[in-house]
Every structure is written in structure tokens, then in C-alpha cells.
């Protein structure tokens, strides 16, 4: 299970790196467009264009901060440790699916098995935290039984 946990962690890292790369590229493109907008002398049209670009830059800045927070959360995970209680970094096998408590990435396939990388603050993440093997809970009208924690 340690190898699976390491691969899931790696996939989460790649997800965040890709997201950061795309956001930084968008910010660079906006900066470039802002630079070319300053050379224009079209009056009101020029001001509207600059204002829209600045709003886009602010929005991208917020997205960049969110992605950096994901990176910080990932850095807190120690995949080499395990616990009897579900916490950040736990790999959980349930009767209804497999979960990696980390960041919300969605479905990841490792060794032909599906895992859902979920954040601890998601609805199912909140239900899983603190549970132990053999505990059960209901989510979306389905009963989940915790079979294994790593």
C-alpha cells in the first residue's frame, strides 16, 4: 500500500504543478497584453480593455494563491507514515470505493484500481476523518464500511 500511496501523492503533485504552470502562463499573457494596451491611444476603448485585463489578472492571482495553498497542504502529507485513524495523508479502502485524503483531484488510477483524491474539507472527507477500520457511515444514501487504512 505504501507504493500506491506514493504514486497517488505523486499524481497530486503533478496536478498542482500543472495548475500552477497554466495560471502563471495566463498571468504572463495578461501582463504582455497590458503592455501592448499601453501603446494604444484609442481612448475609452483602451481604458475598457485595460480594466478588463486588470480584472483578469486579479482573478488569475486569486487562482494562483489557491493553487499555492494546495501545494502547501500537500507538503504537510507524510506518505511514509500510517495511522489507525483516518487523517490527512491516509489511504482508505471502503466498501464503496478507495480514497486518498489529500487534495481534491478526483479519480486517479493506480495499478488498475481507482482511487479518489479528496480534500479533508469535502463532504465525504469530513465523514472519513477520525474513523477507524470497521467503522461505518452513510453518504448519499449508501452505507460505507471502512475496510483498511494505510
pLDDT in tens, 47-83: 788 888 899 999 999 999 999 999 999 999 999 988 9
State the pLDDT at residue 47.
77
User: How many CA atoms lie within 13 Å of 56's alpha carbon, on the beta-carbon side?
Assistant: 18
pLDDT of residue 36: 76
40 confidence band (pLDDT: 50, 70, 90): low
pTM of the model: 0.86
Q: Distance between the two ends of the chain, CA-based, in angstroms?
A: 7
- Quick one: which H or E segment has residue 136? strand 136-139
Q: Which residues contact 8 (CB under 8 A, 6 or more apart)?
A: 91, 100, 102, 108, 110, 115, 117
Report yes or no: 135 and 142 within 8 Å, Cβ to Cβ: no
For cell 477507524, what's the residue? 132
What is each CA distance from 146 to 12, 86, 98, 123, 134, in whole angstroms? 23, 10, 10, 16, 5
Amino acid at each position: 500500500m505504501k507504493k500506491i500511496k506514493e504514486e497517488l501523492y505523486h499524481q497530486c503533485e503533478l496536478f498542482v504543478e500543472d495548475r500552477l504552470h497554466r495560471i502563471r502562463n495566463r498571468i504572463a499573457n495578461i501582463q504582455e497584453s497590458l503592455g501592448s494596451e499601453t501603446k494604444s491611444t484609442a481612448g475609452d476603448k483602451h481604458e475598457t480593455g485595460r480594466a478588463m485585463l486588470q480584472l483578469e489578472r486579479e482573478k488569475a492571482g486569486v487562482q494562483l494563491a489557491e493553487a499555492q495553498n494546495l501545494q502547501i497542504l500537500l507538503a504537510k502529507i507524510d506518505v511514509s507514515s500510517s495511522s489507525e485513524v483516518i487523517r490527512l495523508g491516509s489511504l482508505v479502502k471502503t466498501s464503496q470505493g478507495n480514497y486518498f485524503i489529500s487534495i481534491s483531484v478526483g479519480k486517479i488510477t493506480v495499478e488498475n484500481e481507482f482511487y479518489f483524491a479528496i480534500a479533508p474539507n469535502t463532504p465525504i472527507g469530513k465523514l472519513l476523518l477520525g474513523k477507524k477500520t470497521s467503522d461505518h457511515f452513510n453518504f448519499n444514501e449508501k452505507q460505507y464500511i471502512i475496510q483498511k487504512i494505510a
